């Protein structure tokens, strides 16, 4: 608490499991860590790396161009090529030419890749639901709405 006896914007009334007050930034970082650990565990159970799992989940939305995927992953197209080589060797995704544009390459899931993506996504959803178990139904809905507002406020994302 600040010296006026009131909480500042960074101070909250929320208390962590260790009894310490958690500000929003610290809470988001801790929550991010929990999500990343779950993503890692689920990826391993599906014999995927986290980046392979993310690629499959992005491609569940339909074919994507290599340039678009590079933007989604924040890497150069050359770096994405290695990921795609491994995904193709495993039979999870395919690269093909875009009709009418000889230089453009699009990426699609194979049937096996689609099955793997759906299985991974389903298990991740279960894991994320488990994180929210301590919340009452109305608190879960409030959390969902607040999260959607934050995401929308960050601008459009195609990944």
93: domain CATH number?
Answer: 1.10.10.10
Write the pLDDT tens digit of every residue in 33-48. 999 999 999 999 999 9
Least confident of 50-59, 94-103, 133-142: 94-103
In-domain check, residue 39: yes
Per-residue pLDDT reduced to its tens digit, 102-135 = 888 999 999 999 999 999 999 999 999 999 999 9
**pLDDT in the model for residue 16:** 56
Is residue 154 one of the residues assigned to a domain?
A: no
What is the residue range of 84's domain?
30-128
| Residues listed for the chain | 159
pTM: 0.79
Tell me if 95 sits within 8 A of 88, measured CB to CB: yes
Whether 89 shows a pLDDT value over 90: the answer reads yes
Residue 73 lies in a domain: yes
Q: Is residue 67 part of a domain?
A: yes
- Pair 56, 112: CB distance under 8 Å: no
Mean pLDDT of 24-32: 94
Question: Is 6 a domain residue?
Answer: no
Establish if 135 belongs to a structural domain. no
Does position 12 have pLDDT exceeding 60, yes or no?
A: no
Q: How many domains does the chain have?
A: 1
Contacts of 9 (CB under 8 A, 6+ apart): none
């Amino acid at each position: 608490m600040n010296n006026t006896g009131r909480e500042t914007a960074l101070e909250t009334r929320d208390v962590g499991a260790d009894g310490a007050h958690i500000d929003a930034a610290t809470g988001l970082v801790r929550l991010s860590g929990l999500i990343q650990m779950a993503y890692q565990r689920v990826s391993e159970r599906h014999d995927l790396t986290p980046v392979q799992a993310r690629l499959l989940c992005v491609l569940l939305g339909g074919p994507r161009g290599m340039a678009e995927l590079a933007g989604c992953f924040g890497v150069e197209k050359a770096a994405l090529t290695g990921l795609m080589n491994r995904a193709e060797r495993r039979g999870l995704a395919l690269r093909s030419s875009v009709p009418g544009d000889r230089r453009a390459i699009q990426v699609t899931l194979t049937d096996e890749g689609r099955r793997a993506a759906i299985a991974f996504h389903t298990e991740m959803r279960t894991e994320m639901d488990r994180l929210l178990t301590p919340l009452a139904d109305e608190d879960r809905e409030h959390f969902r709405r607040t999260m959607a507002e934050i995401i929308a406020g960050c601008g459009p994302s195609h990944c």
